[in-house]
Structure 1
Amino acid sequence: MDTDPLFSTFAALDTENLTVLTIEDDPLVRQSFVMYLEDYGFHVLQANDGVYGLRVFREQQPDLVLCDIRMPEMNGMEVLEVITKESPETPVIMISGAGMINDVVESLKLGAQDYLVKPVTDLDVLGHAVKQALSKKALESENQRFKSELERANHELQNNLNVLREDQEAGRRAQLQLLPPPEQKVGDYEFLHTVIPSLNVSGDFLDYFEIDEEHLGFYIADVSGHGSASAFVTMMLKSLFNQPLRQYRVSQDQTILSPAKVLEYLNQEVIAANVGKHVTLFYGVIDLTNHQLTYSIAGHYPRPIVVKGKSKELLTDRGFPIGMFDWATFTDHHLEFTQDMSLIMFSDGVLECLKQDEIVPEHSLLDIIYLKNSSVQDITQQLNIKSKSNVPDDVTVFIVRRNDR
């Protein structure tokens, strides 16, 4: 059986958890179908007429139905009409005699997934029809699940947008509620941040979260522009990040663990949303088992700074901003998050707070970080930031620090 090409195909469908109902009045034909499908691991139910077949269908709710067209008492067309009305997602494959083309056409109009013509001398034809029908059903179920998640996300976004439209101050409060605590220790890691908007609401955003017991995720984002429109996109980002996070927790989809894949997903979603904004973003994942940081950068400027003892350097890579080019790709980079190391991130508003005329402005940030354990307050004091009244642009400072003590 291992050399049979259908064997691997059916194995991928997890046939042991799939049930097929065969409604056929000819016992020899019915039994040949049953034996063939059971050989591939399906649980097979049998019925010798349409009336009994419908009763079995309603009681057992099979994943697929094979139904003969010509049967006494209740013919296959009547059975098909009832099944497609009561359970339109259940695929039905009709079985007709030779020369009954009108019955075939009518069954397809009524919603049959496929048809077979008797005599079925090559049962692999049956196997392929069953495989195609169940694969299509699985794909439709998956699409429906994603559609439901997207509708839920859009509902969340619409609610957040309504809050912003009603009142900017209310929008600011809503945005603050989406931000994580300004100081928090998770295992060996400290997360510290401040977000200072130039208006009531900000185009800067950040978040950190536990993916599972072995991984932490965090990101900083800077949406182009200011005010409500940019703040709306930050809320959109929060919701978009929740999608791969949910998929990982529900189905172990690994996307959330690859920053590059997450950025590619975000890029496509922001472009599709047609919000008229682009986003620079840094996303990192820390593996708590080996303290490895995996990160990817979507045009975020200034780049994050790694501080180890007296050493200070900007991370490599730049990448393209999210929401600009649908062909943009991103790269995962790896870095050991050593003991007492700090990763310091900024939005570009900090550069407007500097008075120096640097050829490469982001390098000037290295001068204001004088200790590996510089706090958020130390940095904002160096930038002479006191409140939103004296910042020309949204300003965010975000520090992730490993501290085993």
Structure 2
Amino acid sequence: MKHTYQTILLVGHVAEAIDSIVAACSQTELRPVKVSTAYNCAYAKELLNEHDFSLVIVGLSKTFTVDDIASLTELHSPKPILVLLPEADCDQVLLALRKGANDVFIQSEITDTNKEFSNSISKLLLLADLIEKKLHYRNELEKSLSELQIDQQAALQIQQNMLPDKELNVGGLLARYLLIPSLYLSGDFVDVVSIDADKTMFYLADVSGHGASSALVTVLLKNMTNRLVRNYNRSSSFDILSPVSTLYRINSELLDTGLGKHLSIFVGLFDNSDASLTYAVGGHHPMPILTDKTGTRFLEGRGMPVGLFPEPLFDERKLQLLDEFEITLFSDGILEMLTEESMSAKEQKLIDVVIATEGAGPDMIKEALLPGLIKDAPDDIAIMTVCRQ
């Protein structure tokens, strides 16, 4: 708690100057001053260890020498120390300044009318006041940052709990993913949702921006898709069976939140009964890569970002899959990390790596694209593979 007064510690031989010191303090326009005294160095150190003083004034004598200033400076830093010398001595003045004193006066020259001494006291108390305010603000900032870190850790735990298992077998599919947030929380999100015995929905979403506000939208996205599944189970809505209808629902509800956030997303619906994939794209790039015995290529499709426009355009496509296939999805954060100059070269890099790492999973794909630890990524990175073997 910030004191309503400043404190001065008088150390050593200062008895003759106390009245002048008090008079000088009374002329300052700062907070009131409280004075404590210590007549030897050991007691002064004890007080400095136990209490916080604004200014230390040291009166030197034969038993309290300039060499003792350094130990007091170490305990009192960064706040100021003023030294009073028993007599004029240029060498002692220089030595006191080198030991950490902010200003030096000769005791015999200190009087109630000494303006230089009064001005020095005022300046040093002002300096101490600024330092104390800075320390107070820093402590408050550290406290706020600590509270923020606790909040973000809780938010991260919530977000982690919402994600599916890193490797998941469901509806005849094997789904795996890798998420690398650029900040503490991620704006990229993946999910695999079992709708019934045959149908499985999977998606990769990339919320605009990154950090806590984007992570909040992933919570809303998870809630929306879960609600669509519940509606399907009680036969109140069948939007979950149509990726494009799912996008329209997400778009409407995201606009209703008023968060000013939008997202890109690929939504796929796999039907194990006929090995078909129905999918829709909401502004997502790069497109997923399909690999089967006929080759490796990007899926086709287009659509507007979700959450930007009240009447967006999405298209829904359906294709027949072979018995064995793999679909590889990326968020656009991966493109920002690739060093190839053109977008077509970056897309070809993705194709080449998917071919080279066929079936190896997201971790191996990431290592082939971006070896080693990723530092200072400009955006979140998500990689997801969905396959049937």
Q: Which residue of 1 aligns with 2:237?
A: 253
Q: Which moved more, 1:322-331 or 1:215-224?
A: 322-331
CA distance in 2, matches of 1:240, 1:188: 24
Confirm or deny that 1:354 pairs with 2:338. yes
Q: Secondary structure in 2 aligned to 1:191? A: strand
Look up the match of 2:385: 399
Q: Is the 8 A contact 2:171 2:194 kept in 1?
A: no
SS state of the match for residue 195, structure 2?
strand
Query: What are the superposed Cα offsets for residues 369-399 of structure 1, whole Å, 9 maximum, x if unpaired?
Result: 1243232122111122544535332111000
Percent identity between matched residues is 36
Which has more radius of gyration?
2
Report the counterpart of residue 188 of structure 2 in structure 1. Answer: 204
Task: Give matches, 1:97-246, under 5 Å.
Answer: 167-246=151-230
User: Partner of 2:350 in structure 1?
Assistant: 365
- Does the 8 A contact of 1:204 with 1:221 survive in 2? yes
How many angstroms does 1:329 deviate by? Answer: 2.8
Q: Quick one: distance in 2 between partners of 1:173 and 1:291?
A: 36
Contact 1:164 1:171 in 2 (8 A): no
Between the aligned partners of 1:359 and 1:167, the Cα distance in structure 2 is 38
Contact between 1:339 and 1:402, CA under 8 Å: does it hold in 2?
Answer: yes
RMSD across aligned positions (CA)? 1.9
Q: 1:284-303: CA deviations, max 9, x gaps?
A: 11111101111000011111
Matched, 1:292 2:276: yes
Contact kept, 8 Å, 1:197 with 1:388, in 2: the verdict is: no
Q: 1:386 to 1:232 in 2, by over 3 A?
A: farther
Which secondary structure state, in structure 2, belongs to the residue aligned with residue 167 of structure 1? helix
Contact 1:164 / 1:170 at 8 angstroms: preserved in 2? no
1:389 aligns with 2:375: yes
Say whether the 8 Å CA contact 2:302–2:315 is kept in structure 1. Answer: no
Structure 2 unmatched runs, 5+: 1-146
Name the structure 2 match of 1:60. none
Within 1, Cα distance between the matches of 2:335 and 2:368? 12
Equivalent residue letter for 2:154: A
TM-score w.r.t. length of structure 1:
0.57
Q: Is the 8 A contact 1:277 1:323 kept in 2?
A: yes
Structure 2 partner of 1:332: 316
* 2:241–2:269 Cα contact (<8 Å) kept: yes
Whether the aligned pair in 2 keeps the contact of 1:293 and 1:334 (CA below 8 Å) is: yes
Structure 2 counterpart of 1:380, from 361, 366, 371: 366
SS at match of 2:234: helix
CA distance in 1, matches of 2:155, 2:263: 20
Aligned length: 241
- The CA distance in 1 between the partners of 2:343 and 2:204, in whole Å, is 25
1:140-181 Cα distance to aligned partner (Å, 9 max, x none): xxxxxxxxxxxxxxxxxxxxxxx9996112211211110000
